[in-house]
């Protein structure tokens, strides 16, 4: 770990956005773009864009700008999209089903291999040809299959136990939709999607002008 430079999460979170805008440019047949033009589209300053990309190497040429397709591929590689990923979904409730049904992820190189639940009414059903398996067999399944990412869509109460099983059996990335902060070893990465917290951030901002006015008084 000693030769790692850590890139700040703020930079990391901008990368998928660059990726998305560059794909849009490609679909509009744009071949090259200056950091200034890209800046106008994406809403970051040109110097921010240059700084962000400089973390990862030399992209673009003075006076020419960026080759859109090349930059798209390079950012894709930085994001790990030069590889493919086997995923499983644990929890076939509302969110688990939505994720299982979402076809866009397969285009990006993610293949969902299995879905697990404990509800006997769901076990045996299929979502997009993937059978819902009994979560009792999760550990056994993980020992026999190489899974890169666990997509955790269980209720809060089961989330840590399932996480422990995933981690114990070699899964090092968890995409977590359960409303809980999971405890994992340092080598495991977690990305949370906390929907309720996102919604409460919205209501905060909706009420902020009134709130701050009241505090001031």
Rounded Cα distance between 215 and 217, Å, is 5
32 CB-near residues (< 8 Å, 6+ apart): 64, 65, 66, 67, 68
Would you say 136 or 201 has its CB closer to its own copies? 201
- The binding site for its own copies (CB under 8 A) comprises 1, 3-7, 12-13, 15-17, 19-20, 43, 56-57, 78-81, 83, 85, 94-95, 97-99, 101-102, 104-105, 108, 110, 148-149, 172-173, 175, 179, 181, 189-191, 193-209, 211-213, 215-216
> 173: which 2 tokens?
């990335």
Question: Which C-beta is closer to its own copies: that of 70 or that of 179?
Answer: 179
- Residue 136 or 197 with smaller CB distance to its own copies: 197
Question: In the numeric block, which tokens belong to residue 196?
Answer: 């309720």
Least distance CB 125 / its own copies (angstroms): 16
Minimum Å gap between C-beta 136 and its own copies is 25
* CA–CA distance, 88 with 73 (Å, rounded to integer): 26
Smallest distance, Å, CB 105 to its own copies?
7
Q: What ranges make up the beta strands (E) of 38-169?
A: 66-67, 85-90, 110-117, 126-127, 130-134, 149-152
Question: Please, which residue, 47 or 55, has the CB nearer to its own copies?
Answer: 55
DSSP 8-state assignment for residue 61: B
Q: How far is the CB of 135 from its own copies (least distance, A)?
A: 20
CB of 81 to its own copies, least distance (A): 7
Instruction: Return the number of the residue (131 or 206) whose C-beta is nearest its own copies.
Output: 206
Estimate to the nearest angstrom the gap between the alpha carbon of 213 and the chain centroid: 37
DSSP class of 147: -
């Amino acid at each position: 770990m000693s030769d790692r430079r850590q890139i700040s999460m703020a930079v990391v979170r901008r990368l998928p956005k660059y990726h998305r805008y560059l794909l849009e440019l490609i679909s509009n047949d744009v071949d090259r773009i200056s950091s200034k033009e890209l800046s106008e589209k994406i809403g970051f300053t040109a110097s921010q864009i240059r700084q962000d990309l400089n973390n990862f190497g030399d992209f673009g040429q003075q006076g020419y700008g960026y080759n859109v397709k090349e930059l798209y591929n390079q950012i894709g590689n930085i994001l790990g999209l030069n590889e493919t990923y086997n995923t499983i979904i644990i929890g076939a409730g509302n969110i688990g089903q939505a994720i299982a049904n979402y076809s866009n992820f397969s285009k990006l190189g993610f293949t969902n291999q299995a879905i697990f639940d404990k509800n006997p009414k769901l076990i045996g059903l299929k979502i997009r040809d993937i059978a819902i398996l009994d979560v009792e067999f999760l550990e056994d399944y993980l020992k026999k299959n190489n899974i890169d990412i666990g997509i955790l869509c269980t209720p809060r109460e089961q989330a840590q136990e399932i996480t422990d099983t995933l981690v114990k059996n070699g899964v090092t990335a968890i995409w977590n939709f359960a409303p809980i902060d999971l405890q994992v070893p340092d080598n495991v990465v977690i990305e949370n999607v906390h929907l309720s917290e996102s919604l409460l951030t919205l209501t905060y901002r909706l009420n902020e002008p009134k709130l701050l006015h009241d505090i001031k008084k």
